[in-house]
Structure 1
Amino acid sequence: MSRTTPPRPVDVSAVLPQLAPLARTATRLHPRPGSPSPYDSSVGGPLLWPAAEPWPYCEGPHEPDGVNPAVSPADVRRRRRIQAAAAGQPGLGPEELVSDEQLRTDRPWPDGPVAMLPVAQLYVRDVPLPVVPEGADLLQVLWCPFDHLPEPRPRTALFWRSAATVTEVLTAPPQSAAVQSEDYVPEPCLLDPEQVTEYPHPMELSTQLRARLDDWATWQSAGAAPDSSYELAPGEFYLDELSLAPGWKTGGWSRWGLTDPVPRLCAVCDAELTPLLTIASDEWDASTGSWIPYEDQAAAASTAPAHSLAHRPTMITVGSGYSLQIHVCPVSSDHPHKELIQ
């Protein structure tokens, strides 16, 4: 099923022509639960990984956080199937009727390298990417399912490759015996990529432009008719409904809010880094409902248990519901990438 984002309530570049040169294309990935193969673009699916190439491991450190017990990825997935069945979804077999308590058994905290988990596989034929190294047509993203400092977050690894060079696929990649949190185990999802136009976060705009965004008269004169809830904070109308698409996406602009904007420069060549991939906790929330695709609006409005996680199809939660944004150097894919939690 393709997904279609409703048009924005107003053409903001017509209201504020200064924004027109700042427009960027982002590709919303719209991950939804499915059964991807190594030949599909996916979130949390199997990778087109060469059988002869070593699987990536994270060397650590993996220190117990004193809060989260380590859990088995296999148990995480079994619990999800049981919970889905309890919510009225099919797929529960008699052999899976084990108690939730049994599947919450703590696993030993790892004392050595940890096999990284597949997070995303993006074929350029399916998903436009803002940066693609010469000769590559496939991006694979993995992460270590344990927090790493200085900012607690999974550590990511990027692999670019030519799909045609993979003649024998690794069918049984190593599995981590434990993860720090079930929130770091992505549910296998297929993608429905869709391109949208984005504009910068307000904190990346000039003082003059921000003043216009914060003026209720700006939107009244444009005939935008924003909800009256925005009258006390008109700038939120731009932030929520006109600037940045929520959810998983490639390209576009960086989201801020947890911190003010910070420089994102390559550690090797000082080039300004490009937003490559946003790994989101939610596809939408209470403030970004206007971005819900037409095809998901019934599920989003439903109170049925089966639709309670319609906004979180990948089952990933970053931090307390934030996004992890990966930025890459446009000069060379060999230069280190940066991660940003917002």
Structure 2
Amino acid sequence: MSIEDARTRPAVLLNPLEGDPTDADSHIGGPLLWPIDEPWPWCDGETHQPGSGGEPFVGAVQLYRSDFPELPFPEGTDVLQVFLCTLHHDVPHARGPAVRLVWRDSTTVVELIEEEPQPSAQVEAYVPTVNVLEPIRYAERESKASGGTKIGGWTAWRQSAPVEFPCPDCGAAQRQTLSLATHEPSGDDVEWEFGRGGNLNVFTCPADVRHPISAHVG
């Protein structure tokens, strides 16, 4: 691999725009494809600042494999669902929401949950507006990392020096899979805010994305 190639990664700018998605769509802040017979994700509250007991996670992002084959979907899955606990948590270099990923096989969902649980308390800065996505695919240079919401690419280290995250399960160097942005290049912001106008970066294990993830606000 050439130096040029080593410093370039494929990326997908999600390019969120105000819209009215359904559970069958890829989106930010819209309804999720969640089965009625599966428990909704809850945060145990142990890492809240301050602790306030358990609260349900909020469905933040849903991405279908048919729209975003660039994501590292495990075999037998075709939907990635990203959940945030919309209270302050300790994450590297800042406070931010807790993150949980669910990789799902959409064909196994027969009956949908009637109503998604809502937290009794939230930090409004972590709650997204509802957006559809008009993705832009490009090759991203390490020296010109976009600060927009994206899949893949390079981390825009705006509020800290570069950080390495070893996988807690196997020790492999985790890689940025998704970055959620306070500010979009288009100017159509999702109206959430991470840190001082930065990004919530989600890192996964290249050996198995179902290993524990790392989140970083920068």
Would you say same fold, with TM above 0.5? yes
Structure that is richer in strand per residue: 2
> Whole-Å Cα distance in 1 between the matches of residues 72 and 138 of structure 2?
17
Secondary structure of 1:118's partner?
Answer: strand
2:64 pairs with 98, 105, 123, which one? 123
- 2:42·2:55 contact (CA, 8 Å) conserved in 1? yes
- The alpha-carbon deviation at position 32 of structure 1 amounts to 0.9
- 2:16·2:131 contact (CA, 8 Å) conserved in 1? yes
Please tell me whether residue 245 in structure 1 is matched to residue 143 in structure 2: no
Task: Give the structure 2 partner of residue 322 of structure 1.
Answer: 198
Secondary structure of 2:158's partner?
Answer: coil
2:136 pairs with 190, 194, 203, which one? 194
Which letter maps to 2:32?
Answer: L
> Whole-Å Cα distance in 2 between the matches of residues 315 and 125 of structure 1?
27
Please tell me whether residue 42 in structure 1 is matched to residue 57 in structure 2: no
Please tell me whether residue 161 in structure 1 is matched to residue 146 in structure 2: no
Secondary structure of 2:177's partner?
Answer: strand
Kindly provide the CA deviation profile for residues 209-254 of structure 1, in whole angstroms up to 9, marking residues without a partner as x.
Answer: xxxxxxxxxxxxxxxxxxxxxxxxxxxxxxxxxx222311001111
Task: Give the structure 1 partner of residue 44 of structure 2.
Answer: 59
Which letter maps to 2:38?
Answer: E
Task: Give the structure 2 partner of residue 171 of structure 1.
Answer: 114
- Mapping of 1:1-342 within 5 angstroms? 18-61=3-46, 62-64=48-50, 111-150=52-91, 151-179=94-122, 181-201=123-143, 243-284=144-185, 292=186, 311-342=187-218
Secondary structure of 1:20's partner?
Answer: helix
- The alpha-carbon deviation at position 162 of structure 1 amounts to 0.8
Which letter maps to 2:176?
Answer: P
- The alpha-carbon deviation at position 312 of structure 1 amounts to 4.4
- The alpha-carbon deviation at position 256 of structure 1 amounts to 1.2
Which letter maps to 1:126?
Answer: D
Q: Aligned-residue CA RMSD in angstroms? A: 1.6
- The alpha-carbon deviation at position 185 of structure 1 amounts to 1.1
> Whole-Å Cα distance in 2 between the matches of residues 276 and 20 of structure 1?
19
- The alpha-carbon deviation at position 111 of structure 1 amounts to 3.4
Secondary structure of 2:142's partner?
Answer: coil
Which letter maps to 1:177?
Answer: S
> Whole-Å Cα distance in 1 between the matches of residues 70 and 88 of structure 2?
27
Which letter maps to 2:155?
Answer: S
- The alpha-carbon deviation at position 19 of structure 1 amounts to 2.2
Unaligned runs of 5+ in 2: none
Give the ranges of 4+ consecutive aligned residues of structure 1 lying more than 3 Å apart after TM superposition.
Answer: 61-64
- 2:62·2:79 contact (CA, 8 Å) conserved in 1? yes
> Whole-Å Cα distance in 1 between the matches of residues 52 and 203 of structure 2?
30
- The alpha-carbon deviation at position 313 of structure 1 amounts to 2.9
- The alpha-carbon deviation at position 193 of structure 1 amounts to 1.3
Structure that is richer in helix per residue: 1
Task: Give the structure 2 partner of residue 303 of structure 1.
Answer: none
> Whole-Å Cα distance in 2 between the matches of residues 112 and 340 of structure 1?
23
> Whole-Å Cα distance in 2 between the matches of residues 26 and 271 of structure 1?
21
Instruction: Answer with 1 or 2: which has the greater Rg.
Output: 1
- The alpha-carbon deviation at position 264 of structure 1 amounts to 2.1
Which letter maps to 1:139?
Answer: L
Kindly provide the CA deviation profile for residues 153-196 of structure 1, in whole angstroms up to 9, marking residues without a partner as x.
Answer: 100000001111111111301111220x2111110111111201
- 2:56·2:117 contact (CA, 8 Å) conserved in 1? yes
- The alpha-carbon deviation at position 18 of structure 1 amounts to 3.4
> Whole-Å Cα distance in 1 between the matches of residues 15 and 69 of structure 2?
14
Q: TM-score, normalised by structure 2?
A: 0.92
Secondary structure of 2:4's partner?
Answer: helix
Identity of aligned residues (%): 36
- 2:147·2:199 contact (CA, 8 Å) conserved in 1? no
Q: TM-score, normalised by structure 1?
A: 0.60
